Amino acid sequence: MKRLLLVFLSLSLLLVACKGPTPTVAPQPTPTGLPTAQISVSEAPNPEAAAKAFLEAAKTEDYETMYGLLSQGAQAGISQQDMVKTYMDSYGALTFAGMEYELRSFAILNPNAAQVAYTIIYLTNRLGKISRDSLLNLSLEGGEWKVAWSPTAILPELVNGRSLKLDIDPSARGNIYDKNGNALVAQVKAVQLSVRRDLLPADEQAYFVSMMANLCGITEARVSTLMNVGNLDWKNPICQVSQEQAQRFQTDLDFYARGGSLLIDESVTRSYAAGGVAEHAVGFVHPIPADQAERYKRLGYSPDALVGVDGLEAWGETYLNGLPGLTLRVVEPDGQTVTNIASAEKVVSASITTTIDSELQTRIQNSLADYRAAVAVMEKETGRVIALVSNPGFDQNNLATLNEENQPALNRATQGAYPLGSVFKPIAMATALEAGIYRADSVLNCSHTWEKDGWTGYDWTYWSELPASGPLTLEEGLMRSCNIWFYEIGWQLWQLNYKSDLYDMAKAFGLGERTGIEVGSFPGKLEMPTDAFTNSQLAIGQSTLQSNPIQVVDYLGAIGNDGTLYRPTLVEKITPIDGSTDVYSFSPEVRRNLPVSLQNLQDIQDGMIMVMRNPSGTAAHVMRGLKGNIAGKTGTAQTGIPGMDEHAWFGGYTFNNNPNLPDIAIAIVFENAGEGADYGAPLFRRIVSLYYSNYKDPGGTMPWEDAPYVPSTETPTPES
């Protein structure tokens, strides 16, 4: 033990000796402290704002904004055009009507990636609400979140190239009938006939062209034109005919079909009354216009569907077409079904029974020769329109006729714009009587001219080189259509501070506004007079006034029924084609009651009766021998265009009170034809005669006919 202690001491001394002298400790500087480390932390923006901006743009289909919100990677993977197509195809399949969404939460997965959870709700036209919970992926680029888009942003099922497909099972389109159940248009089985020239022997061509012209109802030149399109082996359509028409040529058709030169495809088509009957009222169907394709697609229509584009075919589209059965599927790129998402049951289509009397309609159409003219015939106690004629017309089975001269597509009866001339005078008389400035028995000298403040107005007797009518009561002034009386009414109304009364009365009679008829109507033009002169011009139906037969027949009916202005209608009932309960049945609809006392209306009625029955009445010579109770008014409206003949107007009504045959009102206009008594009055007589004789009495021969419904070879044509 002692030895170990000695060794330890010896080693300690040795170590001290080896260190040498202890060094002097130098003074330490006073510590001043190190700077504190500065750490800059940039918080990532909230990804919900970017998601909301994208979904808001999707909600309004603002595809340009949507594409601008995509990440660079997403834009590299899909063009804006292809992204838009994906949305449009998907929205079409969904029958998209609108979209709602709700952001639920978000997660930042790493400094450059995030996800936003949201619920998307599609409001659809046919498939109800379709709701999905989904995730939107985002990438951080340049300090902003961008959408890493894929089709799952539309629906989460759209992964791996999957898409939406809408299966459509259409309803058969409903028919349109006249009031007696006669078809104005019906769905019929048809055949489409096409030709391949390379399989048609040269020695058969002449006979083939002749046969097809007879079958199709077109010229041989037209058949040749249709055949000689494109390459010899092209399938060139020639025409579409009903199966009944085709059967008359069955032997020939079978012969050419066996040789392959004639191709026959069966289909169901729309067949209209031959030549066009009430074509402007009925309208026609047409393939979906390109600019409306997306709208119809979202209503569940097949791309090759025919839709109504005019008349009742357009107004009643929802009823006539019904609703197709729909099934929305998710499909693989090869078309295989992954799952069904939603469906909608087929809703049966319906047929429309109109108020049109096709027998009367056809006979009026056949009475107009080549004149540009329009006629409206209406039950004056209900508003039912039993004839609505616009000439020239067109053939709905051959829409090429729409391109003919004189605007055959224009429904002159509802869309025409004509000054009224003297058929307006009953309204001016009502204004004077209601204002109290004249009575029915007030007297004025009806001279050739009327002068006020340096302006001269003329009576029609001046231009016709007839003696002036002389002193007339107001009632007789209506009978004689005395311009002088009505200039004075307009002038005195203004001078006595009834400055708006004539305008207001015309408005109350329905001028300047749409009638409400189903096929639409031009409201016309009715402007507030600015001085006594324009008020006087309005009083004779001139100034800037414009109207059309459907407005005139409506207010004439109101005069004749003691003051009730009805909404004109073309629709009697709408009946589902399965025979179930009518979805609509007509009931008269009152627009308003005229602001005219019964006594004043009776005074106007008496004046209109005198037009027809008093020997001095402007239409009495035309109505001589016509049985029944009638009232009417002639009109000759100046166009204001130098060298252009006047429009010939006539309007009136019956008042026979036959419980089995409603009384009617009639309005007629011939464009640029001349005197209303020469053109409109004879046609009025024919219409009344036909109506009350069960179509047996044509009411004589029109001035432009060689025989009833046979135009004269010397028929004057209206000036263009």
**283-295 pLDDT per residue, tens:** 999 999 889 999 9
Would you say residue 373 lies in a domain?
yes
Per-residue confidence (pLDDT) for residue 38, from 0 to 100: 52
Would you say residue 650 lies in a domain?
yes
Average pLDDT over residues 414-431: 97
- Domain co-membership, 116 together with 71: yes
- Domain co-membership, 220 together with 266: yes
- The 3-state secondary structure of 349-388 reads CEEEEECCCHHHHHHHHCCCCCCCEEEEEEECCCCEEEEE
Would you say residue 358 lies in a domain?
no
Residue 434: count of CB within 10 angstroms of its CB: 18
Confidence of residue 639 (pLDDT cuts 50, 70, 90): confident
- Domain co-membership, 428 together with 463: yes
Residue ending a domain, choose from 207, 242, 277? 277
Cβ–Cβ under 8 Å, residues 113 and 137 = yes
User: Which has the minimum average pLDDT: 10-19, 495-504, 567-576, 673-682?
Assistant: 10-19
Task: Give the CA-trace dihedral at 324, 330, 332, 336, to 10 degrees.
Answer: -50
Per-residue confidence (pLDDT) for residue 34, from 0 to 100: 52
Residue with tokens 């299966």: 167
- Domain co-membership, 410 together with 447: no
DSSP string, 288-299: PPGGGHHHHHTT
Per-residue confidence (pLDDT) for residue 240, from 0 to 100: 79
Q: What are the beta bridge partners of residue 109? A: none
**53-74 pLDDT per residue, tens:** 999 999 999 999 999 999 999 9
Q: Quote the tokens at residue 447.
A: 């001279």
Would you say residue 336 lies in a domain?
no
Residue ending a domain, choose from 277, 295, 312? 277
- Any residues with CB less than 8 A from the CB of 311 and at least 6 apart, and which? 279, 280, 281, 282, 283, 284, 411, 519
Of 386, 369, 698, 343, the C-alpha closest to 553 is: 386
Per-residue confidence (pLDDT) for residue 644, from 0 to 100: 82
Residue 695: count of CB within 10 angstroms of its CB: 14
Per-residue confidence (pLDDT) for residue 265, from 0 to 100: 86
Name the pTM for this structure.
0.82
Residue 198 DSSP code? G
- Domain co-membership, 648 together with 682: yes
Confidence of residue 45 (pLDDT cuts 50, 70, 90): confident
Residue 13: count of CB within 10 angstroms of its CB: 9
Distance CA 559, CA 556 (A): 5
Distance CA 378, CA 281 (A): 14
DSSP string, 97-149: EEEEEEEEEEEEEETTEEEEEEEEEEEESSS-EEEEEEEEEEEEETTEEEE--
Per-residue confidence (pLDDT) for residue 11, from 0 to 100: 35
Confidence of residue 20 (pLDDT cuts 50, 70, 90): very low
Cβ–Cβ under 8 Å, residues 516 and 551 = no
Mean pLDDT, the chain, as a whole number? 91
610-to-338, 427, 482, 607, 646 alpha-carbon distances in Å: 80, 17, 13, 5, 24
Most confident region among 42-46, 247-251, 502-506 by mean pLDDT: 502-506
Task: Give the CA-trace dihedral at 574, 314, 379, 673, to 10 degrees.
Answer: -160
Per-residue confidence (pLDDT) for residue 252, from 0 to 100: 92
Is the pLDDT confidence value at 512 over 60? yes
- Domain co-membership, 144 together with 210: no
Would you say residue 121 lies in a domain?
yes
Distance CA 138, CA 160 (A): 19
Per-residue confidence (pLDDT) for residue 504, from 0 to 100: 98
Per-residue confidence (pLDDT) for residue 77, from 0 to 100: 95
Per-residue confidence (pLDDT) for residue 26, from 0 to 100: 46
Helix, strand, coil abundance in the chain, percent, nearest 5: 35, 25, 40
Residue 234 DSSP code? S
Is the pLDDT confidence value at 27 over 80? no
- Containing 556, the helix (H) or strand (E) segment is helix 549-560
DSSP string, 626-677: --S-EEEEEEEE--SSTTPPPEEEEEEEE---BTTB--EEEEEEETT---HH
Per-residue confidence (pLDDT) for residue 8, from 0 to 100: 37
- Domain co-membership, 67 together with 127: yes
Give the angle 219-225-229 at the CA atoms, nearest 5°.
155
Would you say residue 505 lies in a domain?
yes
Confidence of residue 218 (pLDDT cuts 50, 70, 90): confident
SS3 category, 445: strand
**141-156 pLDDT per residue, tens:** 999 999 999 999 999 9
What's the N-to-C CA distance of the chain in angstroms?
A: 149
The beta strands (E) that lie in 182-324 are given as 183-195, 236-242, 262-272, 285-287, 306-308
Would you say residue 345 lies in a domain?
no
Cβ–Cβ under 8 Å, residues 358 and 182 = yes
Would you say residue 183 lies in a domain?
yes
- Domain co-membership, 89 together with 142: yes
Report residue 449 CA to chain centroid gap: 47
Q: Quote the tokens at residue 22.
A: 């202890």
Of 317, 493, 509, the C-alpha closest to 424 is: 509
Is the pLDDT confidence value at 581 over 90? yes
**651-703 pLDDT per residue, tens:** 999 999 999 999 999 999 999 988 889 999 999 999 999 999 999 999 999 99
Confidence of residue 470 (pLDDT cuts 50, 70, 90): very high
Q: What are the beta bridge partners of residue 108? A: 114
User: Which has the minimum average pLDDT: 118-127, 227-236, 411-420, 523-532?
Assistant: 227-236
| Sign of the CA dihedral with 493 first, then 495, 497, and 500 last | positive
Is the pLDDT confidence value at 719 over 50? no
Share of the chain above pLDDT 70, in %: 93
Distance CA 602, CA 594 (A): 13
**153-199 pLDDT per residue, tens:** 999 999 999 999 999 998 889 999 999 999 999 988 888 899 999 99
SS3 category, 540: coil
Cβ–Cβ under 8 Å, residues 673 and 679 = yes
Distance CA 265, CA 248 (A): 17
Residue ending a domain, choose from 598, 631, 648? 598
Is the pLDDT confidence value at 720 over 60? no
**537-547 pLDDT per residue, tens:** 999 999 999 99
Distance CA 492, CA 473 (A): 16
Is the pLDDT confidence value at 86 over 80? yes
Domain with 232 in it: 179-277
* CATH for 197: 3.30.70
* CATH for 128: 3.10.450.100
Distance CA 290, CA 700 (A): 50
SS3 category, 241: strand
Confidence of residue 36 (pLDDT cuts 50, 70, 90): low
Average pLDDT over residues 92-116: 95
- Domain co-membership, 519 together with 543: yes
Report residue 267 CA to chain centroid gap: 27
Q: Quote the tokens at residue 262.
A: 């004639």
- Any residues with CB less than 8 A from the CB of 417 and at least 6 apart, and which? 522, 524, 525, 546, 547, 548
Distance CA 540, CA 694 (A): 37
- Domain co-membership, 69 together with 209: no
- Domain co-membership, 60 together with 149: yes
Per-residue confidence (pLDDT) for residue 14, from 0 to 100: 35
Q: Quote the tokens at residue 216.
A: 């199709």
User: Which has the minimum average pLDDT: 17-26, 134-143, 418-427?
Assistant: 17-26
* CATH for 445: 3.40.710.10
- Any residues with CB less than 8 A from the CB of 131 and at least 6 apart, and which? 119, 120, 121, 122
Average pLDDT over residues 239-254: 87
- Domain co-membership, 440 together with 561: yes
Distance CA 74, CA 137 (A): 11
SS3 category, 68: helix
User: How many folded domains does the chain comprise?
Assistant: 4
- Any residues with CB less than 8 A from the CB of 551 and at least 6 apart, and which? 510, 511, 515, 521, 524
Query: Which residue type sits at 452?
Result: K
Cβ–Cβ under 8 Å, residues 396 and 274 = no
User: Which has the minimum average pLDDT: 80-89, 276-285, 357-366, 400-409?
Assistant: 400-409
Residue 501: count of CB within 10 angstroms of its CB: 19
Per-residue confidence (pLDDT) for residue 229, from 0 to 100: 85
Of 93, 97, 155, 90, the C-alpha closest to 300 is: 93
Residue 269: count of CB within 10 angstroms of its CB: 19
Average pLDDT over residues 363-392: 97
SS3 category, 252: helix
Per-residue confidence (pLDDT) for residue 165, from 0 to 100: 96
